[in-house]
Structure 1
Amino acid sequence: MAAPVRGGQAIRQSHAKLPRLSRHSRRHFSASPASRDYEDTVQNLRIGKHTRVIYQGFTGRVATGNAKDSIAYGTNIVGGVTPGKEGEHLGLPLLPDLKKAKEQLKPDATAVFVAAPQCGRAIEDAIEAEIPLIVAVAEHIPLHDIMRVTSILKTQSKSRLVGANAPGIIAPIGSCRIGFQPLPTFSPGHVGIVAKSGTLSYEAVASVTRAGLGQSLCIGMGGDIIAGTNIVDGLEVFEQDPETQAMIIIGEVGGRSEEDAAEWIKDYQKRSPNPKPIAALVGGIHAPAGRIMGHAGAWAARGEHSAAEKYKILEDAGATMVDHPEKFGGVMKTLLSQSGRDVSKITGNPADQKRGYHTTMRRGPVVRPDRPSPPSQRPHQSRNLHLRPEQAPDVLKPYLDDLKNITLSNEPAPSDAFYIGLTVDRSERQPCIRTSPSTDTSRFRETALRFPFDQRSPPPDSLIADSIAHISPPESTKQSLTSLIRALSTVYLEKEAVTLSTSISTNPSTGTIALHLPSLILQFDDSAYRSCSRHPDIHTLRDRTLEQPEEVEAEDSGIVFIRLPNPAANIGTLVNGAGLAMNTLDALRLQNGHATNFLDTGGKATSETVKKSFELILRDERVKVIFVNIFGGLTDGGMIAEGVLLAFKEVDMRGVPVVVRIRGTNEEVGQRVIAESGLELEAFDGFEEAARRVVEIAEGSKERGGEMGGIL
């Protein structure tokens, strides 16, 4: 049984094994030696020139285009799989299933370019085939699908997952890309980067490249609630990698990965006589509390640290913190010099270097990502469904009706109430029971414990007993509490919840317990319904009329839009990527500017999406200037520029000036389109200088200042 977790710090058991249960999946995966577990697969991340890569969903339009670019880059792609098809594709072997691909192609890694509804199953296929490295890029994979996958991963020691909802992994030394990173931004070098945010990782890469350092290995965790590979996994690889001379961490609001990394850093600096320099950034310092900031995982659960607090935790652990990703290059040069490393050698031409190792082989129908989903499955940016407490009877009563001594109360919880919940333990990559003997928010981090369990089965009685013992309830209520936790766990697993929690009061004389509805949290996974049409009974309870109309309208267009309430704000923002959108808010605040909104166009923005984004922003009368900040991976810079021109043509811009900054995929095309448009647009190459200019305009200054402005 997994160890309980207190606050943000896991009490780990290095070789704890979970029972191999199979409520959802009856397939059997090969047993691992008793001395090995999932943590031992971390070295599978050390990809290089000789890593043999295959694609799942190989013949899809997106996979085909991606494979062409990766082959041109130098990636050793040896073929791929599309169910029911066999022959050749792109001049490489095309096979109908992973079993044949494993036997004939002997892959070290697979790029899973499979749509969200089938992606969980595709990852399981890869685990069953014992592919050493699995990279999943799809967004909107249901949370419980990924928790099932991670439960399976914990039973074996052959396969490592990167993702899901990840840009992937790339080794510029060795020219090996498994994902959709903007290739022109990368250069071979000696800085390792592990990041939650794809767009912020590209910003860091660009800064390091311009500093002449280059990158050894870049790992994109992905923005989902649970990641198959986390920050600590990346740091462990960088520590052992002889090509990596320095490390960069990019975190953001939500989860405890940054705090786990801080503990690792403290331990690393104690045991290493000359530790590699570490720099870090945490996005979302100024993100509004209680909101999901674009990424499915970009939200802080009760008791979790804020982005600002994580910044301080990493700083106290010994990481050198930056407030802006463009500063990483200069900071890294300084840190490398201070550590006694020869920066002149590190900044030399590494183009001929090749990584001297590579991943070692250890001997349902797929939907093409390019094929539009049915309307009920079309991707949306609404990440979770939050039901109101008064809707609790609709959800819970069927599960509680047969239970004695349990009531639903409309009264606020008393001061001596307990806390009970079912939620996600992100560090353990599992669901968990969470209990606290107090609901006092000021002490919740210290009093709350997590009790993780395997998603494929209800929590065992022994775990439930441990979770109840932690709150020390009256003896007469223990049986009722046990029944309640069993019922909540059934709701949690059957209805694919993210968090179910409430305050509980007890009556020792009668043995009864009351759930206090005002404190109840009912949070369900939106992707289970959007991607797979599961649980319509839950999701039809959503009342969109009670939500902000602009946010609902944005969601229908695949945009995440959050109106920020500051009455003094006057800068509209249009950004691709949740991490970059959060950091844009932070960057504006560094220049004493205030944004009227958070807007993430999503990774697959179109010209129409950009046009719609302008319409939403301009409905706010506070907006005096708009900042378009794009760093493209999947998003094409030329397309973004065309979207800006479309907005000027079809949207009443109210004379509002626009500052455009485009980097990444097809940045030259985008910058040229803006420069030749003849419109009143200011175009920039640099993030920080663009933010500075936006604030100048917002404050009423039209002075350009120095060499700012124009295409650089």
Structure 2
Amino acid sequence: MLPHRSRCLSKKLRYPCPNSRLTYAPFSSSARRNGYDDTIANLKIGKDTRVIFQGFTGKLATANAKESIEWGTNVVGGVKPGGSGEHLGLPVLPSVRAAMEQLKPDATGIYVAAHQAPAAIEEAIEAEVPLIVAVAEHIPIHDIMRIHSMLQTQSKSRLVGANAPGIISAIGRCRIGFQPLPTFSPGHVGIVAKSGTLSYETVGSLTRSGVGQSLCIAVGGDVIAGTSFVDALKVFEHDTDTEGIIIVGELGGTSEEEAADWIRDYKKRTKDPKPIAAVIGGFQAAPGRVMGHAGAWTGLGEGTSESKWKALSDAGVTMVDHPAKFGGVMKEILAQSGRDERSAAQAQQRRSYHTSRSASRPTVPPSSSISTTYHQKRSLHLSPEQSKELLKSYNIELTAPPADTENTHFVGIDVARGARSPSIIAAPTSSPSQLSHRVRRFPFDYRTGPTQETISAAISYLQLDAAAPKTKAQTASLITNLWTLYTAKEAITATVSLAPSPSQDTLQIWNPYLFFDDAAFKSNNRHADLHALRDTSTLHPTSLEAEASGIVFIPLASPSTTTASSPPRNNLIGTLVNGAGLAMNTNDVLSLRLSPTTTSANFLDTGGKATSQTISTSFKLILQDPRVAVVFVNIFGGLTLGDMIAEGIILAFKEVGVDKPVVVRIKGTNEEEGRRILQEARLPIVAFDDFEEAVREVGRLAGVASDGKEI
């Protein structure tokens, strides 16, 4: 049974979704339209929420449970498959079903490795646990799509994650995840975020400004999230503890645009809407690259960071460029709304942040566009000949493109992120300049595959209704064969261009694009034969070295020079950041503050399990770039520890021989200890507590003022 507050909310939260910008057709199944939405109220956790742990006796779960219990979380026990007895003075049960029967939990936190997580999530769904929180990264997307096909046909369980730090109620002292507890304070601002580190930045800014939090929901950075921004907004709308709302988004998917549509509708139907602020990351993302998070890439027909910013701003959301600004911003907009009169005086004194609805958006690299970002540069690249052979094994014969390319079409299987399912992706043209505007997705259930009705709808959208029956049958067969390949090889996208032959006896098929899920191989060692085809010659050498250390390292292009004869820039900023969201936002802010004369030289995400050696290797990678003038270390610790980061920096000076100025900003877990270690090391390192001060110092050392002018 749910806590009393959640039960009271359940009826209020059952209303249809507002109109959306989504470029896909709705499901035909009524279960998909209604069942899972009924579980949104399960997100409202609090002091009475009964929590269990799956993987309870493991090292990570044990440490997390101890912290959470000390903080006040009502942990009632846990599960170890086939086990029994006690752990931390609490009962251990052999299965989730047994735990449901004996412990009556409202929520479960899943603390197992990625290859074990799908089975653990499915066990929790089958046991009808109301709230399931999955923190593991690198769960294969096909496992997640299968899980969502289960979730969409029931109305008992709600999923948060995967690849997320979880959910936390500061008011109710209930944490299901690994958020840094000292950062949080009870209050009345609700937060929904894709990025863990950016959510910590947001909370830290609020707490420093004396603004507490009600509920923080981290939806995660995977391609498909168990809970969306709109789901969280529905909770915040009716939560009497929440007076203001913050959205932390980034490139990839359509969740931010869906949120903007919901906010417009909310403001029209609500007399006194709660004030909302937001930040978007990823403006400086490298075209065609996956930016750390598995879902941080722009799919065909999806919006960019700039369009997400514009959609939210146009919906009346107050936008900021960095989450460290949220404390002052929320004080002001809460005061203006009359929801927090006590902070009105302080709010009027804080006007120095770069924000407001009229603020300039962060700049976007000129080469960034939908057409260039569609073909993702993942770790597996098949050559044209390899793609041809693979497709042939699934009865798909490639041909040369037709001489006349006007009457051509585009079709394949892709992910419909908003629908949380696979889909047929189709467009009545294969022209690259038109695809992003005309593509449409037709979702279907993962477990059943595309129905004849879905296939017919896609063929109709392809404008092949007037084609010969044989052409339509061959197109239907092509879609079916692509789906077979898609599931057999665990692709994320599998598309081709096609056209009826002049005689309409056969289909002409060309331009294949196959985008595979590397998590299926890395986490579960599935499809080793396919991934053995990987051609590493297409990858930057430093990217390969980084990968071996669990680091995501992506070199970024130099900013445009003023004249063709201008020398290449040698005053760029090497960035070392923990967390993909924070790394993207750090690059955005550096570009906004310091461009056009300088910006970041790289994207570098140390990951959540960084070690001292990881930090040392990161310095090595950064300093191999001759354009780097300053190294900026920006850390907000959750699982990553501030003292460990400091020790890694010192190790880098010993092992790598750091010959560039280093600016360090450490916040979060063990931040004071980290700064103490750096101070006592007596190295040429400038350490800061405040992000903006650190950015100004980075600019000064690079010879650039905060207004972009050279010093």
Instruction: Name the SS of the counterpart of 1:399 in structure 2.
Output: coil
Counterpart-to-counterpart distance in 1, 2:344 and 2:66: 31
* Structure with more contact order per residue of length (Cα contacts < 8 Å, sep ≥ 6): 1
Counterpart-to-counterpart distance in 2, 1:701 and 1:578: 27
Q: Which segments of 5 or more consecutive residues in structure 2 lack a partner in the other structure?
A: 1-16, 347-376, 559-567, 707-711
Instruction: Name the SS of the counterpart of 2:30 in structure 1.
Output: coil
Partner of 1:71: 69
Counterpart-to-counterpart distance in 1, 2:193 and 2:145: 21
The amino acid of 1:661's aligned partner reads: R
State percent identity of aligned pairs.
57
Partner of 1:500: 494
CA drift at 1:439? 2.7
Q: Pairwise mapping of residues 47-126 of structure 1 onto structure 2 (< 5 A)?
A: 47-126=45-124
- 1:398 matched to 2:414: no
State which drifts further: 441-450 or 298-307: 441-450
CA drift at 1:501? 1.3
Partner of 1:572: 574
The superposition leaves residues 41-91 of structure 1 with CA deviations (integer Å, 9 ceiling, x where unpaired) of 001000000100000000110110011110111000000011122111011
- The correspondence for 2:668, drawn from 630, 649, 664, is 664
CA drift at 1:701? 7.9
- 1:231 matched to 2:229: yes
- Aligned 8 A contact 2:245 2:276 in 1: yes
The 3 A distance-change label for structure 1 pair 467 and 15 is closer
Counterpart-to-counterpart distance in 1, 2:545 and 2:389: 27
CA RMSD of aligned residues (A): 2.1
How many residues matched? Answer: 643
**TM-score (normalised: structure 2):** 0.87
The 3 A distance-change label for structure 1 pair 384 and 542 is closer
Q: Pairwise mapping of residues 461-540 of structure 1 onto structure 2 (< 5 A)?
A: 461-473=452-464, 474-475=467-468, 476-517=470-511, 520-540=512-532
Q: Pairwise mapping of residues 375-394 of structure 1 onto structure 2 (< 5 A)?
A: 385-394=380-389
CA drift at 1:16? 2.3
Counterpart-to-counterpart distance in 1, 2:627 and 2:402: 40
The 3 A distance-change label for structure 1 pair 262 and 15 is farther
- 1:421 matched to 2:412: yes
Counterpart-to-counterpart distance in 2, 1:588 and 1:260: 28
Instruction: Name the SS of the counterpart of 1:505 in structure 2.
Output: strand
Q: Pairwise mapping of residues 302-701 of structure 1 onto structure 2 (< 5 A)?
A: 302-344=300-342, 385-400=380-395, 406-409=397-400, 414-473=405-464, 474-475=467-468, 476-517=470-511, 520-566=512-558, 567-568=568-569, 570-592=572-594, 593-653=598-658, 655-699=659-703
CA drift at 1:644? 0.4
Instruction: Name the SS of the counterpart of 2:393 in structure 1.
Output: helix
State which drifts further: 94-103 or 53-62: 94-103
Counterpart-to-counterpart distance in 2, 1:115 and 1:163: 14
Q: Which segments of 5 or more consecutive residues in structure 1 lack a partner in the other structure?
A: 19-34, 349-381, 703-712
- 1:17 matched to 2:17: no
State which drifts further: 588-597 or 7-16: 7-16
Partner of 2:161: 163
Counterpart-to-counterpart distance in 2, 1:421 and 1:343: 55
The 3 A distance-change label for structure 1 pair 514 and 13 is closer
Counterpart-to-counterpart distance in 2, 1:595 and 1:396: 40
The amino acid of 1:597's aligned partner reads: N
- 1:201 matched to 2:225: no
Counterpart-to-counterpart distance in 2, 1:53 and 1:394: 50
The superposition leaves residues 144-164 of structure 1 with CA deviations (integer Å, 9 ceiling, x where unpaired) of 001111110001000000000
The 3 A distance-change label for structure 1 pair 412 and 684 is farther
The 3 A distance-change label for structure 1 pair 6 and 345 is closer
The amino acid of 1:614's aligned partner reads: F
The superposition leaves residues 245-288 of structure 1 with CA deviations (integer Å, 9 ceiling, x where unpaired) of 00000110100000100110000000000000000111011112
Instruction: Name the SS of the counterpart of 1:289 in structure 2.
Output: coil
The amino acid of 1:528's aligned partner reads: A
- Aligned 8 A contact 1:213 1:346 in 2: no
Counterpart-to-counterpart distance in 2, 1:412 and 1:552: 40
Counterpart-to-counterpart distance in 2, 1:192 and 1:700: 37
CA drift at 1:556? 1.1
Counterpart-to-counterpart distance in 2, 1:242 and 1:562: 44
Counterpart-to-counterpart distance in 2, 1:124 and 1:613: 37
The amino acid of 2:526's aligned partner reads: R
**TM-score (normalised: structure 1):** 0.87
The 3 A distance-change label for structure 1 pair 36 and 17 is closer
The superposition leaves residues 323-351 of structure 1 with CA deviations (integer Å, 9 ceiling, x where unpaired) of 11111111111111111223328999xxx
Counterpart-to-counterpart distance in 2, 1:608 and 1:553: 13
Counterpart-to-counterpart distance in 2, 1:531 and 1:248: 33
Instruction: Name the SS of the counterpart of 1:117 in structure 2.
Output: coil
